[in-house]
Amino acid sequence: DDNVYPRGNIERISKSKKFSPEQVGLLKRLEAAERNSWDGLPIICTAIVAGNTAGLSANYLNAVAGIYLGLRLTYVYLYATVTDPKKSYARSLVYWLSN
């Protein structure tokens, strides 16, 4: 809705009556998952560059990157869909494994 301050869209959506509480919750969880996804990016990028510099095989580095991306996608899926506090530990485990 607001291209001048798009980061405020979730806040505006929360206050509007256009979306159900479940939809607002999903949007907030997706936004949080996106923000958390930036946490491990410098680590994996540094590891890939270091591995490349050290002469590790491309197959190995591709496997590491693939596993990382798979874990991060799983993390975002769990973050978006899990609303039960007990089940949220699975999300925390995947987050820990991917960092």
Q: Tell me if 72 is assigned to some domain.
A: yes
Q: Tell me if 33 is assigned to some domain.
A: yes
Q: Tell me if 74 is assigned to some domain.
A: yes
Q: Tell me if 3 is assigned to some domain.
A: no
pLDDT interval class at 55 (50, 70, 90): very high
Burial of 9 (0-12, 13-18, 19+ CB in 10 A): middle
Q: Which pTM value belongs to this model?
A: 0.79
Q: 23-52 burial string, b = 16+ CB within 10 Å, else e? A: ebebbebeeebeebbeebeeebeebbeebe
Tens digit of pLDDT for each residue in 2-45?
677 777 788 888 888 888 989 999 999 999 999 888 888 999 99
- Domain holding 59, by residue range, is 8-98
How many domains are contained in the chain?
1
CA quadruple 45, 49, 55, 59: dihedral sign: positive
pLDDT at residue number 1: 54
Q: How many angstroms from the chain centroid is the CA of residue 11?
A: 20
